[in-house]
Chain A
Amino acid sequence: MNRSGLRVRSLSVRSTTGRTIVHNFGLSVPRGAIVALLGPSGAGKTTALLAALGTLPAGLRLESGSIEWDGQPRPARSAAWRRSHVGYVAQDARGSLHPAWPVARIVGELGGDVSAALHVVGLDPQRVRQLRPHQLSGGQAQRVALARAIAADPDLLVLDEPTSALDPGTLELVADLVRERARSGRMATLLVTHDEALAGRLADAVVRVGEIPVAPEPGPQNRPRPDSAVAALTVTNLRLGHPISPPLLNDAQLELQPGEFVAVRGVSGSGKSTLLRALAGLHLPWAGTAWTAGEVLPWPVRERADPGRIALVAQDPAASLNPARRAGDALLRPLGTLRGLDRHAARAEARELLAAVGLRAEEVLERRPGQLSGGQRQRVSLARALAGRPQILLADEVTASLDAVTAERILDLLGDLREGRHGTGTRPAILAVTHSPAVLDRADRVLHLADGTLIRTEKGAV
């Protein structure tokens, strides 16, 4: 029997409007090997992958190319082939889970031992079996998606940006898991990622898609000490949780100085995103008081005098922008309502904001989210948050769906912002939930969320 695994030759994909998305792409993933598909966001990694698996979305067409599995052409009607051979973990993990099914049914969808699979990905089967996707955190959803993919013991495991919502501990676990399965010689693994470090550590071979721009020099490391005058945000006695479950935060304290960059870390499901949503006024805490610049800050966003003061960049890039509206509208609206700019001034400012997050305005302004890549959407939603010139920026895994170069650029931008080098006259404090070492490295302080409290930790410690 031929064991050559997946082989893709001279694959080209075009949109029905004639734009070339993937040109002359080739790839070989033999059984027993781990191959990484690496490239910046928007380069067409996911498209190339979907074309190889035979699940191109409407609006994209396979122009040419041959796709083989174990030396045989992959069947043109590929659904049965995928069911019997492929385990796929999608980029938007939560979106790939059936919203009405409990975890046990989702993981067992394609057969296999549910409890064992959940155990392998580091989830407690007893605790999560009966939960439904909306009750899982981003990281847990990703682990459930992974458990489903490996439960059926696939011949080809495909991981699309598996690390975007995982904490380092889980990432290590996934890496071990993939390596161990690959070593058995039966399973071929294809890893799609923008994370050079992960690809280098895990993969036997790396295939690059698109041009990789030269990384910019790291910015100056000398940062002014945060002002001691008036804190940008002070929170005391914060109790936070969801109905009918133990509190996520119990009596937590938090203080942010203007221009300070504070990172929050913690395992999946510990309540990091809920903390940010509470600060943004979207989730009512059980108890606690907040002050901004010396004044009491009401919790519900509607009761806040200046809603533009705090801006949130949410985690889920798939639903961060309105599918019916052009990306430009997402920026023009806050520029109009929060800053009072007229249409013309807002357009000029929107171009500047897009340039600041590393996007070309003409490529983005008139497009709808469906025509943008995950990384581009993430950057638009960051630009939207910056449009109101917030004093406090809450960032939930902002760099998770970005490639190393873009992530670096975004972090530089955040650095410039908090040092007041963007001509905005303000120095926003940044509170970033993250798993990424690059973000932790830039932070002035790192807080660890565990057992209901926020504890200051060392940057390196896990």
Chain B
Amino acid sequence: MSPTARRSGLLVRWAPAGAAAAVLVLALCGGWLTDVDPAQTLTRPWSPPSGEHPLGADALGRDVLARTLHGGRELALVAGAAALIATSCGAVIGLWAGWSRSRVGSAVAAGADLLLALPLLLVALVIAVAVPVPWPVIVATVLGGAPLTLRVVADATRNARHTGYVEAALSRGEPTLTVLLREVVPAHRGLLSADLGIRAVLALQLATALAVLGHGPAPPSSDWAVMLRENLTGMPLNPAAVLAPAFALTVLALVIAFAARQAQR
């Protein structure tokens, strides 16, 4: 292969990953790019885009660009944390349920399946009434996501039990925990990271849905989902106030889904 071809091959391979990383960094640290205070009323409500305010103003005359740049951080952190907790819970219980051939293991798996029968958004709304932000998103993601992770991981673990590498580790006397962590988990790392990505998208959707239904972070938070809710009525006057956070949410969800897909390879 010629050097040029190899360079372009590397570019093809890494460019999407680089773009995805850039979007994530922008969502987390976008607030640092602007000096404008996202909580300050600066102009007339629903002002259309102008030189001073490139994306116009929102319902309270605050700068939409500054609010959009600030608005991803909390959302992304909450979604990431929720996904991490959900996947970890599911993976740990799944490893145990798949490995142990006891009845308790099958009972736990069956119980997890029952959880899946609950309507998730309804559960999330009930939790939202009971506990403060951001816990509803995290708890609902764990309830709705961990059982799925558990199922997949338990199945993969059951199959891994009879592979040569697990049997080799067992026959040299490795403790169960070491076998699980050194052999089974690495063998399924693609599966686990893909699962993490799917749970993050779920958390993002839940956070958005709750915020739009009025259970999001309190004002003056510039959370993208909160922006959607606040600015929907001003759509005819300044469409950018709704389109900017909607676009940002979509791109973030797509990037996470894409990263999950790559991790599965």
Contacts and interface: CB of A to CB of B under 8 A. Distances in A.
Interface in A1-32: 14, 16, 18
A381 B172 CA distance: 13
Interface string B177-196: 00000110011110000000
Given A18-B1, A18-B6, A316-B164, A322 B186 contact: yes
Contacts, number: 72
Interface residues of A, number: 34
Nearest to B174: A337
A265 B6 CA distance: 51
Contact of A282 (B170, B182, B187): B170
A282 B174 contact: no
A310 interface: yes
Find the residue from A319, A330, A385 having the highest chain B CB count within 10 A.
A319
A388 B172 contact: yes
Given A322-B183, A322-B187, A281 B164 contact: no
B173 A307 contact: yes
A321 interface: yes
A282 B1 CA distance: 48
Contacts of A333: 169, 182
Contacts of A317: 164
Interface string B132-153: 0000000000000000000000
B164 A381 contact: yes
B187 A16 contact: no
Report, as a range, how many residues of chain B touch the other chain: 20 to 34
Interface in A298-354: 301-302, 304, 307-308, 310-312, 314, 316-317, 319-325, 330, 333-334, 337-338
22 contacts: A14-B1, A280-B167, A281-B171, A282-B167, A282-B170, A307-B173, A308-B173, A311-B172, A316-B163, A316-B164, A317-B164, A319-B164, A319-B165, A320-B165, A321-B165, A322-B163, A330-B168, A333-B169, A337-B172, A337-B173, A337-B174, A384-B168
Contacts of A307: 171-173
Nearest to A329: B182
B9 interface: yes
Contacts of B165: 319-322, 325, 330
Contacts of B168: 312, 314, 320, 330, 381, 384-385
Nearest to B186: A324
Interface string B43-56: 00000000000000
